[in-house]
Structure 1
Amino acid sequence: MRTRTLFTLVCTAAACALPLAGPASAADDVPVLTTGGTGGTPVAVGDVLTAQLASGTTATLYSSATGTSGVSCTSSQFTATVTDNPAAPGTATESLDAHSFDSSSCTSNVLGVRAVNSITVDNLPYTTSVTSDGTVTVAPASGAVQTTVRLSTLLGTITCVYQAPSLTGTASNDDNSITFTAQQFTKVSGSSLCFANGYFTAKYAPVTDGGAPVFVN
């Protein structure tokens, strides 16, 4: 959406005071992404969308899909450039240019880990697609989505590298958010102290274009 790095994607905050229209139809020539409400002002190709973690939430990389052991961060953000915004219903595309995590906001409850030194989203930019039904997909041009986690442990610093073929999230107009839930990464290199799988969960909101919340049509 998040180092936007992992992922790339896409919106919350209070909506503008304009009343919201129903879903737009292709005949209206309303694009997939708008500001000011559904059916509002088209988001232009080349516009830069930004988002931080939704207020009061954390981004987590846990060792299992339903567990609570791993790494948690309270500060993360992403930046994406719109590359196509066709008429709805359709699929808008973006280039996820930056996705970062503030390591000073990150902690770990894994036994033996003393601190989170850094979390880096590698191999940017990624291609992000947003469909009219709210499905958000983050994928590399080739290879895999990759993130590198460096941890300070009782035995020294370890580096854990995780990959996923792609990430799938959900955009909501209720709070202009993009949510990723238990997206699985597999360890491709690192110490035996690194957990074998990492499950990424985060909610970014609001997604904005020049400060204006972005809606999906």
Structure 2
Amino acid sequence: MRRPNVPALAATAVLTALALLPATTASADGAVLTYGSAAGNAVSVGDVLTASLASGTTAALATSSSGTSGITCTGSTLSATVTDNPAAPGTATESATAQTFSGCTSNVFGVRGVQSITVNNMPYTTSAASDGTVTVTPASGGAIQTTVVLSTLLGSATCVYQAPSLSAVASNSDAGLTFTNQVFSKVSGSLLCTGKGYFTAAYAPVVDSSVDGSPAVYTN
């Protein structure tokens, strides 16, 4: 029997790096992150940013960078707390505290279902630069980690994957954050687990849930 490949859910609370400063005290053109529009109010430190998958998209967890085999999730959410929002140009930071996945299925031979996908070792630090470059890093000495549990023809398979960091791109066109082929390597699990996992997903819009109306957040 051919052994099923188990892709890693590479995502990790990788929240769009958008920081928040008090909208009532900071000037819009002075901060890296603003809400409502690129020329809107500065978002406040301590605010919570959230995001779901962009409308009509899915999170893809592939077994190779160019393949179509793997896991597809119709739902995913991110949440992070802003820790710094300096003047632009600069780099804003957040503490990524949660990431969830739902509606996950697999087209990998031998995999009958996706039991769970869990992002471990949170919080992570998310840094967003004025040029839209976003980087997610773990605590010192740690790793970004995801645990995938699948139902297979041979029983339950648990695979643990890690990455030293993740990269994404923030865009003001949709106030979103995009991850493309972010690579995770297997650190433990059965022979049913593939050695690598590639994560691609687009989250939009990123909103400031601490402000009335949850306005979209932009990077300047």
- Deviation of the 1:39 alpha carbon: 2.7
SS in structure 1 opposite 2:57? coil
What are the equivalent positions in structure 2 for 1:187-198 lying under 5 Å apart?
187-198=186-197
Q: Alignment identity in percent?
A: 64
- Deviation of the 1:28 alpha carbon: 7.8
Match in the other structure for 2:89 = 89
Q: Distance in 2 between matches of 1:144 and 1:107?
A: 26
What are the equivalent positions in structure 2 for 1:22-33 lying under 5 Å apart?
30-33=30-33
Match in the other structure for 1:54 = 54
Q: Deviations over 1:63-118 (max 9, x none)?
A: 1111111111010001000000000000000000101112xx00011110000000
Q: Distance in 2 between matches of 1:4 and 1:80?
A: 17
Cα RMSD for the two superposed structures: 1.8
Which of 206, 212, 216 matches 1:213?
Answer: 216
Match in the other structure for 1:17 = none
Q: Distance in 2 between matches of 1:212 and 1:48?
A: 12
- Deviation of the 1:180 alpha carbon: 0.2
Match in the other structure for 1:14 = none
Letter in 2 for 1:114: R
- Deviation of the 1:5 alpha carbon: 6.0
Match in the other structure for 1:21 = none
What are the equivalent positions in structure 2 for 1:40-189 lying under 5 Å apart?
40-102=40-102, 105-142=103-140, 143-189=142-188
Q: Distance in 2 between matches of 1:49 and 1:4?
A: 20
Q: Distance in 2 between matches of 1:100 and 1:139?
A: 18
Runs of 4+ in structure 1 off by over 2 angstroms are none
Q: Deviations over 1:30-56 (max 9, x none)?
A: 100001211320100000000000011
Q: Deviations over 1:135-155 (max 9, x none)?
A: 111110132100000000011
- Deviation of the 1:194 alpha carbon: 0.9
Q: Could you list the runs of 5+ residues in structure 2 that have no partner in the other structure?
A: 1-8, 18-26
- Paired positions, count: 198
Question: Normalized against structure 1, the TM-score is what?
Answer: 0.88
- Contact 2:49/2:208 (<8 A) preserved: yes
Q: Deviations over 1:176-205 (max 9, x none)?
A: 000000000001111111111000101000
- Deviation of the 1:10 alpha carbon: 1.8
Cα gap change, 1:193 to 1:28, in 2 (>3 Å)? closer
- Contact 1:182/1:201 (<8 A) preserved: yes
- Contact 2:10/2:182 (<8 A) preserved: no
Cα gap change, 1:172 to 1:52, in 2 (>3 Å)? same
Q: Distance in 1 between matches of 2:72 and 2:137?
A: 23
Letter in 2 for 1:8: V
- Contact 2:81/2:94 (<8 A) preserved: yes
Cα gap change, 1:45 to 1:28, in 2 (>3 Å)? closer
Question: Normalized against structure 2, the TM-score is what?
Answer: 0.86
